[in-house]
Every structure is written in C-alpha cells, then in structure tokens.
Amino acid sequence: MNYTFSSKTRNICLALIAIGVLSLVGGFLTDAHRTWPSLLLNSFFFMAIGLGALFFMAVQYAAEAGWSAAVKRPMEAIASYLPYGAAFLFLTLVLSSLHLNHLYHWMDPALYDKTSPDYDEIISGKSGFLNVPFFLIRTVVYLGGWILFLRAFMKKSAIEMQGYNVSNWKSSQQLAAWFLVFFAVTSSTSAWDWIMSIDTHWFSTLFGWYTFAGFFVSALSMITLITLYLKNQGLLPEVNDNHIHDLGKFMFAFSVFWTYLWVSQFMLIWYSNIPEEVTYFMDRFANYKFIFILNLFLNFFFPFLVLMRRGSKRNYNLLFFVGIVIIFGHWSDNFVMIMPGTVKEHWHFGWVEIGTMLGFLGFFGFIVLRSLASRPLQNKTHVFYEESVHHHI
Amino acid sequence: MSRKVIYGVFEDEEILLASAKALRSKGVRIKDVFSPFPIHGLDPVIGIKPTKLSNFAFFYGMFGTSFAIWMTWYMMVHDWQMNVGGKPSFTWLQNFPAFIPPTFELTVFCAAHGMVLSYLLVNKLYPGRSPHNPDLRSTDDKFIMEIQTSENGKIAEDLIVSTLKSTGAIEINHKDLN
C-alpha cells in the first residue's frame, strides 16, 4: 500500500512553514538576540529526531530484531529528515562562527587576548578543543558522517525492496554495526560541541548521554505517532496491537532512562555543590524554575504513570497523546538546555519561539510525509517481514 | 456422579493448542495444561484470565516509595538530624534529592520481593509441598492437558475422549478423584 500525501495535509505543512518563516523574519527584524537561540534549538531538535530514528533503525539490524520490519518505513521516513535538519544546523553554526550572533560565548576572540579586560583564563585553557576551525571540522564530520550512513542505509533499503536478499541484510547489519560505533562517539561529542559549549565554563561528563536520551525518546515517540497516523488511515494493516505495544514500551523505557540520567546529572552536582558545576543549575533555578520543573512532569511523571499500564500502551488515542506530550516535553527540555546560556534572564516564550517551532514542525512533517509517500509502506521482501507480521507478545 | 480427571498427552505444543481450540469450540472446559515451557497464545484459549500480579506490583512499589519517604524522614530529619556533606537536614523537602536513591531502591526492592512472594503464595508454592504434577513427563518432552468431568457435567466423557484422540493426543489417561 502507498501513502498519498494529500493536498490538504500538504497545505497544513506549508501553512506551518509560512508561520515559521514569518516568525523568523519578524523575530530577526525586531529582536535578533531572541531569535538566534530559537533557530539553533529547532534546527538541532528536529535534526536529532531524524538522527534518533536512524539510530533506532540501525539497532534493529545490529540486534537482528524481527518484530520491527513492519514499521521500518516510518523510521526511514523520519530519518530522511536528517540531511535537511543538518543543513539548517550547519548554517546556524557557520553564521555563529562568522560572529553574526553570540550563541557561543567562547567564539568571542577577546576572551583569548591576555591584554583584554575580557580575558578568560578557563576558556583560554580550552582553546585547544574549542576553537572555530576545529569546531566546524567536527561539525562537518558528525553531520557528514551521519548523512553518508543514512544514504548507505537508503541504498540497502532500495535493494531490500527488490527481492528477498539475505546477503544484503547481512551487509546492512555490518553497516549498522559501524554506524553504531561512529554514533556512540559522535552523539556525545556533538552534544558537547553544539549544546554544552554554550555554558562554556561548565561541563558534565554524562551530558552527551543526557542529550541522546532526550532526542532518542522523542524519535521513538515520533515513530509511534507516524505509525499510528498511518494505521488510522488503514495503511498499515499488518502492524498489530503488539507492535504498537512494543513501541509504547520503548517510549516508557526511554522516558525512564532520560529521568535516570537527569537525576544522575542533577543529584551529583547538587550534592557536591562545587561552584563551577552548580552554576548551571543556579541559572536554571533563578530564571527558568517553572519550565525546568515542568519538564520533569512532562518527561517523567506523566509518561511513567500513564504508560505503566499494559492497556494504555494498546490504546491508540492515549498513546498518540502521550507521544505528543513527550515530544513537546523534550523540546522544552532542549529549550532549558540552550536558552539560559544564550539569552540568560531575557528569555521569552512567545510568538517567535512558538512560531519557529511550528515552522520547523511543518517542514519536518513535509519532508517526512513526502518521503513516506515516495515508496510502498510494506517492505514485503525484508528478510524479517514474515516474522514481523506474526509478531505476538 | 463420579469425579474423574482426563489427561490428554501430546507430543507437540502446536497440536495441543489446536486440540484445545477444538475442545473449547465444543464447550469443553479445560482445567489446566502442564508443559515443559510456556506455550504462546494458550492462556486465552483455555480461558486463563490475565494475571493481576502487575496491579499488586504497583501497590508494593507505592508501599516501598512511601516507606522510603517515611524512613528517610524519620532517620535523617525527625529522630536525629544529620549534617551530611554540609547539607543539614532541617526539612525533608530541602534534602529530597539526596533521598532519591534510597527511595528508588526501596521501591524496586518492595515491588520485586512483593511480586515473588505473592506469586509463590497464590500458587501455593512453599517448601515441603508435595508435587502436584500429574505426569512427570510434562517436565521433559510431553504436553499434558487436564480436563475434569465435574466441570463438564453436561458433556459426555466419550465426546471429550474422542475429540482428544481425533485432534492428536497420543495417550489418554483417566484418574478417579473419589
């Protein structure tokens, strides 16, 4: 069966994109300081959802998982947003490097000048790693590497659709293994570069995992949302309650995983109370207290208590709603990761932020749904398709 | 009326499953199935209700959480205030991030132990209990279906036996309970 990207859905996406463009243009004209972090936030967040879906797809191959073959197309479609999100993110980072904005405090050359009153000894000490050329090289390696892996996966997927082919599946598995090795390192280091370096003095050794946990659970929720959307249209008849239940379990489990890392990061810093570490949370408690605490409810208590029951993971409407809450919750978690270091107490949550988010959401939806419509939804010659159709738990 | 038990012995779990479906479609109630391993999809066929163990687990976990909160409050705040790492415990709420690990551990501890003990109690599995397995081969390579005639008053025993035979039971044993 094929998904048709109807003109009505297309118009909704285009309308959202228009809102986003208007918000960005309006934002830059009225208050550019407020708009840049919003651009970075949404470029990163939606790119990371595509990356999370690619990671999940690679895990299916590496783990020889059979159940997920029937939901492979939604994963692929979400992952296909990765190059577009990467382009936005790269553009934003290049513009930062050209000093068109002040997202990254460490990019200010005065910090490294001993004669300058702004000389910062700590940041100067980090200049071996945190300097603009190396930063951009790393960014190219991360984004370029992920996109190359995505393209290799898509090629293998096209062969997969031509006929039952075990050797193609085996080489996909090897590709997945190499991707996971690359991803294991780059998911951490990219989070240090793009997000942790905003609060330049501060560091946390599990920050990479924390960022990963957030975007991975968002990607899992997005896979669930797209699958439920397609099922609602009657397009994925072979995906049964058990597949949905398993996706729900993943959403539940990785919400708990995110919380585990959140507590591990927060509690140790709170307990040891070392000034250079604790400033990170002092900033957030001083100016972002409501949204900081709200994140715990959106990302932990709500999914934990609601998805705990077996029945709620099989209730499509409820699961859809929880998925939206989780994705918004992690968007707002990323908000609290990026805003305090860039706009400090002058933050807003108004038309620029919401409009930019809606614009990126529309663009994301446009790319994902277009990709979904480009190929049949059933991957009938996938090695594990038959196993997946008979999935039962 | 005499109370009898019919044991159908099968060599394969798929044959047993098909046989169970055939029996159920004739209205026969199946008491239990003894198998060396869990048979996928059998529970709804022989009419076993989903377990309530998970509901119990939730309440055991809630008990663990509450107990941990009370315990940390009593030990660290109420009975003898302790100043650990420069964090004086004047109120529980001020210090609660420090109490998250024990709260988590006690929640898991109570949920896990409560579940195991409930499982053993509900299934009457305690030390010294004599084995209730009707046929020791069900722990090796045979699959055994138990049907009690008292539960199937209106259905002739012959019908049960013939259905069992025609659907692939390799052996049928009877036992009188009286």
Domains: count for chain A = 1
Put simply, whether B54 touches A (Cβ < 8 Å) is yes
Chain A CB contacts of B62 below 8 Å: none
Residue B28, pLDDT score: 86
Q: Could you tell me if residue B81 is inside a domain?
A: yes
Is A389 within the bounds of a domain? no
Pick A267's closest partner by Cβ from B58, B85, B97.
Answer: B97
Tens digits of residue pLDDT in A23-47:
999 999 999 999 999 999 999 999 9
Q: Is B112 within a domain?
A: yes
Query: Sorting pLDDT into bands at 50, 70 and 90, what band is A215?
Result: very high
* A271–B87 C-beta distance less than 8 A: yes
Cβ contact A258:A88 at 8 Å: no
CA atoms of B49 and B43, how far apart (whole Å): 7
Interface test with B, best of A267, A292, A305, A393 (most B CBs within 10 A): A267
Q: Cα(A390)–Cα(B5) distance, rounded to whole angstroms?
A: 35
Token pair listed for A185: 């390192």
State mean pLDDT over A297-312.
94
Q: Calculate how close chain B gets to A392, using CA atoms only, in Å.
A: 8
- State the pLDDT at residue B148: 86
Kindly state the tokens that stand for A128.
């071996």
Tokens 């190396």 belong to A134
Q: Which of A97, A56, A96 is nearest to A75 (CA)?
A: A56
pLDDT given at position B161 = 87
Calpha distance A91→A18 (Å, rounded): 20
Has residue A159 got a pLDDT over 90? yes
Is the Cβ of A305 closer than 8 Å to some Cβ of chain B?
no
Q: Of A145, A122, A146, which Cα lies nearest the Cα of A199?
A: A122
A295: left (phi over 0), alpha (psi -120 to 50) or beta: alpha
* Beta strands, E only, chain A: none
Least confident window among A64-73, A182-191, A342-351: A342-351
Structural domain includes residue B24: no
Dump pLDDT digits (tens) for A192-208.
999 999 999 999 999 99
Tens of pLDDT, residue by residue over A167-196, are: 999 999 999 999 999 999 999 999 999 999
Provide, rounded to the nearest whole percent, the portion of chain A with pLDDT above 90.
86
* Concatenated DSSP letters of A57-98: HHHHHHTT--GGGGGHHHHHHHHTTHHHHHHHHHHHHHHHHT
Does A363 reside within a domain?
Answer: yes
Q: Which domain holds residue A100?
A: 7-106+135-379
**Residue A260 within a domain:** yes
Instruction: Say which of A267, A272, A310 has its CB closest to residue B100.
Output: A267
A33 lies in a domain? yes
Is residue A393 situated within a structural domain? no
pLDDT value at residue B2: 63
Using an 8 Å CB-CB cutoff, list chain A residues near B97: 263, 266-267, 270-271
pLDDT single digits (tens) B34-82: 999 988 888 888 888 888 899 999 999 999 999 999 999 999 899 988 8
Assigned domain for A121 exists: no
Residue A267, chain B, CB below 8 Å: the answer is yes
B139 located within any domain: no
Q: Count interface pairs A-B at CB distance under 8 A.
A: 20
pLDDT, position A43? 96
Query: According to the model, what pLDDT value does residue B159 have?
Result: 85
Does this model's pTM top 0.95? Answer: no
Which residue range(s) make up the domain with B57? Answer: 53-122
Least confident of A16-25, B16-25, B66-75: B16-25
Residue A122 falls inside a structural domain: no
Using an 8 Å CB-CB cutoff, list chain A residues near B98.
Answer: 267, 271
The tally of domains found in chain B comes to 1
- Would you say residue A332 lies in a domain? yes
Q: Write out the DSSP string of B110-154.
A: HHHHHHHHHHHHHTT--TTPPP--S-GGGGTT-EEEEEEGGGGTT
- Looking at the predicted structure, is the pLDDT value of residue B1 above 60? no
Could you report the predicted ipTM of this complex, rounded to two decimals?
A: 0.79
